[in-house]
Structure 1
Amino acid sequence: MEEPALVLEGIRAGYGDFQALFDVGLRVTPGEAVGVVGPNGAGKTTLLRVISGMIRPTRGTARFGEVDIAATPAHELPASGIAHVPENRRLFPHLTVEENLKVGAFIPSARKRFAERSEYVFNLFPKMAQRRHQLAGTMSGGEQQMCAIGRALMSSPRILLLDEPSAGLAPIVVAQVFELVKRIRDEGLTVLIVEQNVAQVLRVVDRAYVLDAGRVVAEGASADLAADPAIRNSYLGGH
């Protein structure tokens, strides 16, 4: 089966009277790792919520292969291959690691493969295997982030959406999270990651879009963006 591409064109979206995205276009081809970077409040989280069906665009088209995202109920999108790791992880704190993974395997195709997928996740995150019976809410922020990514991987997604995976984590843990993103991507999984940590994310993605005040203001290969003086001054602190 041919892997689907994610294509957004002319997306406008927001909350009530507040418009967060203005005519945003974006493309992610199969096997790519793509970043969406920009300051806080740029519309990055809103963009991921549009892709995972949590909010409907008021204008524009969003497709994942043959799937019309805007016309598909959010609860049906995981079966099409979209998995979303939300900002702040959103684990079920009073469930164990293993129970959180079961939540990630709720679609029928994933339920049948629970043992196989949980073994995959535990191989990727050995700490999760050690903590499989621990309540998710009692773990460190870094361990919770691993659990949240593992939960998303349980459905065998074809694209993984990561919303600010480095938020609130210690620098050493941030480095570990990005190394894991690189490993997942190296295995061929398509990844779309939104981040404020521009320097880190540009090291692990192929291409990136710069979002500012709800508009795409630049896009290109990650190395080109990292070397661009205007991007460096605006988003990398001039370094």
Structure 2
Amino acid sequence: MEGATLSLEGIRAGYGDFQALFDVGLKVSPGEAVGVVGPNGAGKTTLLRVISGMLRPKAGTARFGSTDIAATPAHMLPGIGIAHVPENRRLFPHLTVEENLKVGAYIPAARRRYAEREAYVFDMFPRLKERRHQLAGTMSGGEQQMCAIGRALMSSPRILLLDEPSAGLAPLVVAQVFALVQRIRAEGLTVLIVEQNVAQVLRVVDRAYVLDAGHVVAEGSSAALASDPKIRSAFLGGH
């Protein structure tokens, strides 16, 4: 599938009376790796839920290519190329690695290419091939994150949404996960990654948006944000 631009404008979203996002705008062009960084509770996960159709915005527009995301049922979005790796991985712990990957290939186009996609995922994650018959819930956190990313890749996405991929992982494993992100984007896949680990994510993305209390408070190239004194002070522990 060819690339498509993700474009959000004036997004307001929340839960009941609680508003989590205030007039948020964001753009991700084909082949880009873009980060959304900020503290816990900033609205990062809510933003990804809007993009993957799990939460309808109260105002604003959200488009992926020619598709109006806000008007499309969530289960249809993988068919246009949106794959979401949720926070805390959300694997089926009592299914094997291979069975979890099959879940990621449920759309008709992915089913037709199942063997090809599975070979691609096993090439990218040799550990998963070794553990293909192991129950997902018995693997380490890092292996589970690999499985969650692999499951998303089974649908041949045009954009991969990653929600806090480093959460709960040991520092060495975090470095491995971000190395995998770099490999995925080196193959031309568009990536939107939401992270609290600002220093790590700025090393692997082209641009980033800083979200705080539901507002975009800064945006720019990863190099510009990493050298911005305010950003360094607030998020990188620098001065």
Q: Deviations over 1:80-111 (max 9, x none)?
A: 00000000000000000000000000000000
Alpha-carbon shift at residue 151 of structure 1 (Å): 0.1
Q: Report the identity percentage.
A: 84
Counterpart CA distance in 2 for 1:111 and 1:233 is 48
Superposed, 1:35-50 pairs within 5 Å as 35-50=35-50
Q: Tell me which amino acid in the other structure corresponds to 1:21.
A: L
1:232 is paired with a residue whose SS is helix
Match of residue 148 from structure 2? 148
Match of residue 223 from structure 1? 223
Counterpart CA distance in 1 for 2:232 and 2:144 is 31
Superposed, 1:13-162 pairs within 5 Å as 13-162=13-162
Counterpart CA distance in 1 for 2:172 and 2:20 is 32
Match of residue 199 from structure 1? 199
Counterparts in 2 of 1:16 and 1:132: CA distance versus 1, 3 Å: same
Match of residue 11 from structure 1? 11
Counterpart CA distance in 2 for 1:177 and 1:118 is 19
Match of residue 237 from structure 2? 237
Structure 1 residues without counterparts, runs of 5 or longer: none
Alpha-carbon shift at residue 238 of structure 1 (Å): 1.5
2:150 is the counterpart of 1:172: no
Structure 2 residues without counterparts, runs of 5 or longer: none
Q: Tell me which amino acid in the other structure corresponds to 1:15.
A: Y
Cα RMSD, aligned residues only:
0.7
Q: Tell me which amino acid in the other structure corresponds to 2:126.
A: P
Q: Tell me which amino acid in the other structure corresponds to 2:154.
A: M
Counterpart CA distance in 2 for 1:138 and 1:214 is 36
TM-score normalised by structure 2 residue count: 0.99
Alpha-carbon shift at residue 236 of structure 1 (Å): 0.7
Which consecutive aligned stretches of 4+ in structure 1 deviate over 4 angstroms post-superposition? none
1:127 is paired with a residue whose SS is helix
Counterpart CA distance in 1 for 2:112 and 2:103 is 13
Counterparts in 2 of 1:121 and 1:2: CA distance versus 1, 3 Å: closer
Counterpart CA distance in 2 for 1:177 and 1:83 is 17
Q: Tell me which amino acid in the other structure corresponds to 2:62.
A: A
Q: Deviations over 1:3-62 (max 9, x none)?
A: 210000000000000000000000000000000000000000000000000000000000
State how many pairs are aligned.
239
1:31 is paired with a residue whose SS is coil
Counterpart CA distance in 1 for 2:235 and 2:2 is 36
2:3 is paired with a residue whose SS is coil
Asked if the contact 2:2/2:158 (under 8 Å) is kept, the reply is no
Counterpart CA distance in 1 for 2:237 and 2:122 is 37
Counterpart CA distance in 2 for 1:88 and 1:3 is 28
Alpha-carbon shift at residue 237 of structure 1 (Å): 1.2
TM-score normalised by structure 1 residue count: 0.99
